Amino acid sequence: MRSKIIIASKNPIKIKSTKLGFQRVFAHMDFEFEGVSVTSNVSDQPMTNRETLQGATNRATHAKIDFPNALYWVGIEGGIEKVGDEMMAFAWVVILSNDKTGKSRTGTFFLPQKVVDLINQGKELGEADDIVFGHSNSKQKNGAVGILTGNLIDRTQFYVEAMILALIPFLNKEIY
C-alpha cells in the first residue's frame, strides 16, 4: 500500500521538491503525493522569519485537518526579512505526522536592490523578480534563487535540502 503525503500547495515546485526529498530519505517506501490548496493565514509575502515559519506551520496544520487520511503533511513557505538596508530570502519547511513535527529552513541569500525596491513598494518577491528580470511566473519555475545563481541552484534544489533536514526527526525516532 502506498503511503500518502499531502503537500499544502499546488505549486509544482513545492510538490516536486517534496517528492524528491521523501524519495531520497525513504527510498524503500512507496508514496502517493497530493498537492492541495490551504490557507497560510499569513501575508501573501511573509516579511519576517517568524511569519514565514508560521505560514509553513499553518499550511501543514490546515492540510492535516482538511485531509486527515495521510502519513505526512508538508507545509513550505517562502519569505523575506530585512537586515539593515538589505533583504534576505529563504523558506521554511514543516512536516507533520500523527506524532512528530520536523522543521528546517533553507539557506539564505540576499536580494538585489532593484528587487528590494519593488518589494518595498508592495510587490511579492516572485512578481518583483518577473519585473526586474523579464520573466513570467518565476515563483512556479526556478524562483529568485535560480535566476540569481544562473540555475546552479534552482528553487526545487533549494527546497529539497531543507525537506531532507526537516525529515531528521522521522529518521531518528528513538531520539526525537
Residue 144: inside a domain, yes or no? no
CATH of the domain at 33: 3.90.950.10
Residue 56 inside a domain? The answer is yes
Strand bridging mode 86-96 / 72-83 = antiparallel
3-state secondary structure of 109: strand
- How high is the pLDDT of residue 140? 73
pTM equals 0.94
Regions of the chain short of the pLDDT cut 70: 1
| Structural domains of the chain, count | 1
Q: What pLDDT, on the 0 to 100 scale, is given for residue 4? A: 97
Q: Would 116 be classed as within a structural domain?
A: no
Q: Decide: 95 and 164 in contact? Cβ < 8 Å.
A: no
Q: CA 89, 23, 21 angle in degrees (round to 5)?
A: 10
Instruction: Convert the pLDDT of each residue in 64-115 to its tens digit.
Output: 999 999 999 999 999 999 999 999 999 999 999 999 999 999 999 999 999 9
Kindly state whether residue 36 falls inside one of the protein's structural domains: yes
Residue 176: predicted pLDDT: 93
The answer as to whether 10 is a domain residue is yes
| pLDDT at residue number 51 | 98
Give the three-state DSSP class for 27. Answer: coil
Q: Tell me if 94 is assigned to some domain.
A: yes
Strands 86-96, 101-105: parallel, antiparallel or unpaired by DSSP? antiparallel
Q: What is the pLDDT of residue 1?
A: 66
Predicted local confidence at residue 142, as pLDDT? 84
Residue 109 pLDDT: 97
* Closest CA relative to residue 97, chosen from 64, 53, 56, 135: 64
pLDDT at 153: 94
Residues 6 or more apart whose Cβ sits within 8 Å of residue 6: 34, 36, 63, 64, 67, 70, 72, 73, 74
Query: For residue 150, what pLDDT is reported?
Result: 93
